[in-house]
Amino acid sequence: MSTRLSSGGLYIDRSARKSFTFNGKRFEGYEGDTLASALLANDQMLMGRSFKYHRPRGVVASGAEEPNALFNMGRGRHFEPNQRATTTELFEGLEVASQNHWPSLEFDVGAINTKLSRFLPAGFYYKMFIHPRPLWKHVYEPFIRKSAGLGKAPSEKDASTYEHFYAFYDLVIVGGGIAGLAAAKTAAQTGQRILLIEQSAQWGGRALIDGGEVAGQPVDNFVEETLTFLKSKSNVTLRTRAMAAGVYDHGYLLAYERVSDHLPEAKGPRHRLWRIRTKKIIAGTGAIERPLPFAQNDVPGVVLASAARDYLAGYGVSIGDRTVIVTNNDDAYLTAIAVKNAGLDVVAVLDSRANGAGDLGQKVRDMGIRVEQGKGIAMVKGSKRVTGVSICSQAGEGAVLEGLDCDCVAMSGGWSPVVHLWSHCGGKLIWDDRQQHFKPDVNNYPKDASGNPLVWVIGAANGVMTASGCVVDGERCLEGASDAGTAAQPETHEESGVNPIEAVWMMPQGAGYALRSKAWLDFQNDVKVSDVQLAAQEGFHSVEHTKRYTTLGMATDQGKLSNINGLATLAGALNLPIPQVGTTTFRPPYTPISMGSIAGLARNEAFQPIRQTPMHQWHEDQDAYMEPVGQWRRPYCYPRGSETHAQAVEREINQTRNSLGLLDASTLGKLLVKGPDAAKFLDMLYTNMMSSLKVGKCRYGLMCSENGFLMDDGVVARLDEETFLCHTTSGGADHIHAHMEEWLQTEWWDWKVYVANLTEHYAQVAVVGPNARKTLEKLGGIDVSKESLGFMEWSEGKLGGFDARAFRISFSGELSYEIAVPANQGLAFWNTLLEAGEEFGVMPYGTEALHVMRAEKGFIMIGDETDGTVIPQDLGLNWAISKKKSDYLGKRAQEREHMVDTERWQLVGLETMDGSVLPDGAYAVEAGTNANGQRNTQGRVTSTYYSPTLSKGIAMGLVKHGPERMGDVIEFPKVDGAIVKAKIVDPVFYDKEGVKQNV
C-alpha cells in the first residue's frame, strides 16, 4: 500500500484539499501535491502500461526524469497527452486517464507482448517487417501506426493561449537549488542583470529533502535567507516553473515557463517561452539518480531511493510499509533512515559492495536495520505491485539465497550530473571513475563568440555530490565563468566516512539471459540489458547506432534514467572502457515543451500577417473569393448568388470588355527613384531605355537578373527630370526595392540616386473598359480626354475631389486608366467609382479575369511565362531590349552561347483543335526518347485559360522553333493518357492592332 502519512510533507498544505479524477475515479490530494504524489497517496501505484510489452508500470522517479507515469490529461479543448505526473502540479478538478492500454489499465490485451518478448527483441521490427516489401505499406505500417504512440492525439483545437518573451541578461543561472541560489547571491553583488530560474514550483532543490547544514546554518534557513536577499536586489529576476530547455550559439537560451498549468482557471497564457540572449549561463541543474538493472526492476513499487525520500519528506507519502533498499553507494542509506524515521519498516538494505557503506552504514545498523553487504536482488516478485524480492550475491549468477516480502524497493545506482545545458553547445564530458558518472570537463567548456565559457556548471551538475560542496561551488561560480574560464575541476575528494560507489551495470554481475532479459534499462521504450547486448553482438558498436537500433533513450524522457546504464552495458558487451563508448548527443529541449509555446501568439487571426489593401474589407463584404498573392490576399473573383467561379470570371470579363470594370491594383509595387543619376540607374536596371522617356510619359520595362533571366516587369512613369515612379509586380515590390538598394549600396555607391518604396502609400484602381473615360469624366477634375491624356501618359490633379495621379495604361487591351490616390482615401475613391459607374453596370473584377484578359492580349505574366530560366528574348520581347545601350543588368549574360542558342524554346500562342482548355504546365512531346529513356519534349504550356471573349480555350507556351512554325499542330499528352492537339498561333488573340486601348 502506498499511502499518505499522518504528518510530514514540506510542499503540501494539508488544509487545502484538491479533488481530481483518475480514469473516472474521484481522488483527493492537497495543494502542493504533484499528480504523482496525489495518486500514491490514494494507493494508485499502477499508473500506466509500457510502450512495447504493455507491462504494468508505476512511478519510478519524482521529477523531470520520470519515464512511466505519463497521462492523458484534461478533455476537449484542454486535452493533452503524455503529461508527466511527477511534474504536474495538482489542481482542483484535474482529470487524467492512463495511456497505452486496451481495454483497461487493469486488464490489457497488449500485455500478451510481454509473454512474446523473447520473440520481440531489439531490431525485431526492422528484421520482421522488411519482407515481403509490399506488406510494409499495406499491412505492417497501418498496424504499427495503430499500436504506436503513448497518449492520444488531441481531437479539438487547443483553447489555451501561449506567448513569447524576449529577454536579455548578463547572466542566467539555471536551477534554484542551493548551488544556484549561492551562485545568484554571489553574482547579484556584481550588479549584473541576472535571471535565476527553477523548473519546479519550489526553491531549494533536493537539499531541503535531505536536510543538514550548509554555510554554517540549516539548509532551509540558507534557502530562505538567500531568497530574501535576492528578492531585495533590483538586478535579479527570479522565476519558478521555468525550465531552461536549450542553449544555442551566441548566448541564446530558451526557457519554458509553465505560467498557469497549475491554475487552469486563470486568465493569461498557459505557457510562455522566454527567448533569452545572455552573456553567460550558469547551470546548477543538479543530478539524476540511476536505477539498478536487476530482473523485474520495472514492477510498480520499485522506485529510485531518492524518489522514496522525496515522497516521504516532500509530500508525506509512503510508497509502501515494508521497504527493501538496494544500492551500490552510501547515499541510498539516507532513504533507509528516512523510511525508518517515518515509522515504517525497512526490511533490509542490500548493498552490492562487499565492504558496505561508511558512517551511514553504521548509523543504519544502529537503528536496527538489517544490512546485507555484497548482496543484490536476483528478481523482484509481483506483476502489478511488488510483493517481495529474492536476494542473491552480487558476485554470483543469481542463485537465490533468501526471499524477502516487501511492497517497495528503493534502488540507487549512483547519480549522474544533469549535463544537458553544458552539452547543448559543445561542452565536453569526462568520466569520473571514482563517482562512476560523466561530468563536465571544465577545460573543454562551451564557448561564446570570444572563446570564453558560455556555460559554466556548478554543484551536482558539476559532479559535486555534497550539499556544502554545492554551496561552495555555487559561491565561486564567477571564477569559472570568468573570461578566462580557468577554474579547476571542483574538488571531489573522498569524503571521510563515505565508501566509494561500486560500478554495477548488471545485478548480479553474472546474471544469465533469463535475468538479463527482464532487467530494464529504458522503462518507457522497453529496452532491456539483453537488447543492448544483442545490438552489440550484431555489430552496432557505436552508441548512436545502438540507441537507434534498440530505441534506448528515444522516448519522451530522452533517456534521462537509461542512458548511462545503457552505454555502460554496451561498453561491457564490447569490452571497452565506458569513456571510449561515450554518450549519445544531448539535444534540446531538456524536457518536452508544448507545441503551443513554440507557436506563441501566432495562431488564429495572429497566425501570419495577411497584407490587406485599403479596399480589402469591401472585397470581403462582397464575399469575394480571395487568393494569396505573396502575402496579400486579392479577390480572385466576385461570385454572385450561385455562380461558379468560372461563371463569375466570365461575367466580369464580358462586363469589362463591353462596358466597365474596376480592379483593385493597390498591391502593385510603386518605387520612387530620384536623383541626378536616376535615369542612368534605370537604364542599367531595365533592358530598355528609360533615360529617353519624356516627363509625363509611361513606358513598359523589363528587369533581368545579372544572369540575364527575366525577373520583373512594369510600367515606369517619369515624374520630372530626375524622378521616376517604377511600378513592379505585386509580389516583386519588396524584392525589387532591395535589388535597387543593393546595387546602389554595393556597386554604384557613388551614383546620386535615392529610392523610396511608396507601394503602400497609394491605393490604385484600374478603371477599365469602353466606358472608362466617361466614368472618370463624370467625376470631374483631371482632363482624361484622348488629347490631354494619351495612351502611355500620366497626369495628376484632383479627380472627383481626390488627390489623384492617373496613368493611361492597359493590361487588358481595353481603354484603361490606373488611378492612384493616397491609401487613406482609397476606399472612398473606390466607392465613388462604383457610384459613377453604376449607369454602365460597373463590376469589380478579380485576378483571374485580369489574367485571362492579359492572356487574350498575349501579355506575359512574371511567374507564368517566366520561371527563373526564361530570358526576354525567349518571349519575343526583343522590342523591349535596347540595342543602343552599352550595358544593362543581364546584357552580357544574354550573349552567352546557351542564351543565343536558336534551339531555345520560344513563346507562341496555342489553340486546341477541339477548342478545349490545355492543362496548365502540359508538355508537348516529340519523337524518340532521351538518354534517360524519357520521351523527348519540344515545348510546354505556360498560361492556359478559357477565353470568354473568344469562346474557346487559349494558351501560351514555349515551343522549340515556335515562331517559325505557325500553323503546325503539336501534341500534349494529358495525365489520363489522352492527347490534346494544339495549333501554334500568334500569342496575341485579341485586338492585335491595339485599336481598343488607344481610343
Partner 1 sequence: MFDASTTYVSLEQDTSLGMITLRADLASDKLKKAINEIGLGDLPAQRQIVSSSELSLGWMSPDELMLFCASQNVADIVQTIADHLAGEHSLVVDVSDARAHFVLKGAHIREVIAKLAPVDLDPTQFDVGELRRTRFGQIAAAFWFSDQTTAHIICFRSVAAYMHEQLIRAAASGSEMGIWSEA
Residues at the contact surface with partner 1, assessed by CB under 8 A: 159-161, 163-168, 193, 237, 266-269, 272, 275, 277, 601-602, 605-606, 608-614, 632, 672, 674-676, 752, 754, 756-762, 822-825
Residue 435 or 759 having the CB closest to partner 1: 759
- Provide the sign of the torsion angle of the four alpha carbons 6, 11, 16, 18, taken in this order: negative
Residue 324 or 615 having the CB closest to partner 1: 615
- How many Å apart are CA 755 and CA 741, to the nearest integer? 7
Spatial CB neighbours of 877, under 8 Å, sequence gap ≥ 6: 687, 702, 710, 860
Residue 298 or 448 having the CB closest to partner 1: 448
CB atoms within 10 A of CB 981: 14
- Provide the minimum distance between the beta carbon of 244 and partner 1 in the complex, in angstroms, as a whole number: 18
- Provide the minimum distance between the beta carbon of 698 and partner 1 in the complex, in angstroms, as a whole number: 20
- Tell me 805's DSSP state: E
Residue 124 or 252 having the CB closest to partner 1: 252
- Provide the minimum distance between the beta carbon of 668 and partner 1 in the complex, in angstroms, as a whole number: 13
Q: Which residue matches cell numbers 480555350? A: 953
Residue 5 or 629 having the CB closest to partner 1: 629
- Provide the minimum distance between the beta carbon of 159 and partner 1 in the complex, in angstroms, as a whole number: 7
- Provide the minimum distance between the beta carbon of 412 and partner 1 in the complex, in angstroms, as a whole number: 40
- How many Å apart are CA 32 and CA 75, to the nearest integer? 23
Instruction: Tell me which residue of 86, 136, 76 sits closest to 264, measured CA to CA.
Output: 76
Q: Which residue matches cell numbers 493616397? A: 822
- Provide the sign of the torsion angle of the four alpha carbons 24, 28, 32, 35, taken in this order: negative
Which secondary structure element, helix H or strand E, spans residue 683, and what is its range?
helix 678-685
- How many Å apart are CA 677 and CA 167, to the nearest integer? 45
- How many Å apart are CA 716 and CA 411, to the nearest integer? 80
- How many Å apart are CA 251 and CA 331, to the nearest integer? 36
- Provide the minimum distance between the beta carbon of 696 and partner 1 in the complex, in angstroms, as a whole number: 19
Instruction: Tell me which residue of 637, 611, 633 sits closest to 624, measured CA to CA.
Output: 637
Instruction: Tell me which residue of 73, 7, 79 sits closest to 34, measured CA to CA.
Output: 73
Residue 483 to residues 164, 199, 200, 250, 487: CA-CA distances in angstroms?
30, 28, 31, 15, 11
Contact in structure between 55 and 114 (CB atoms under 8 Å): yes
- Provide the minimum distance between the beta carbon of 478 and partner 1 in the complex, in angstroms, as a whole number: 21
- Provide the minimum distance between the beta carbon of 312 and partner 1 in the complex, in angstroms, as a whole number: 35
Residue 257 or 407 having the CB closest to partner 1: 257
- How many Å apart are CA 592 and CA 245, to the nearest integer? 8
**The C-alpha cell of 909 is what?**
500562342
- Provide the minimum distance between the beta carbon of 672 and partner 1 in the complex, in angstroms, as a whole number: 6
- Provide the minimum distance between the beta carbon of 169 and partner 1 in the complex, in angstroms, as a whole number: 9
- Provide the minimum distance between the beta carbon of 667 and partner 1 in the complex, in angstroms, as a whole number: 8
- Provide the minimum distance between the beta carbon of 761 and partner 1 in the complex, in angstroms, as a whole number: 4
Q: Is 3 helix (H, G, I), strand (E, B) or coil?
A: strand
Residue 588 or 630 having the CB closest to partner 1: 630
Contact in structure between 415 and 465 (CB atoms under 8 Å): yes
- Provide the minimum distance between the beta carbon of 268 and partner 1 in the complex, in angstroms, as a whole number: 3
- How many Å apart are CA 651 and CA 643, to the nearest integer? 10
Helix residue ranges, H only, 195-271:
207-210, 219-231
Instruction: Tell me which residue of 360, 353, 296 sits closest to 332, measured CA to CA.
Output: 360
Spatial CB neighbours of 507, under 8 Å, sequence gap ≥ 6: 292, 293, 294, 326, 352, 376, 377, 394, 519
Instruction: Order across the sheet with 710-720: list the strands.
Output: 698-704, 710-720, 723-728, 669-674, 754-757
Residue 31 or 722 having the CB closest to partner 1: 722
Contact in structure between 943 and 916 (CB atoms under 8 Å): no
Q: Around 940, how many Cα atoms within 13 Å sit in the side-chain half-sphere? A: 14
Strand partners, 254: 246, 275
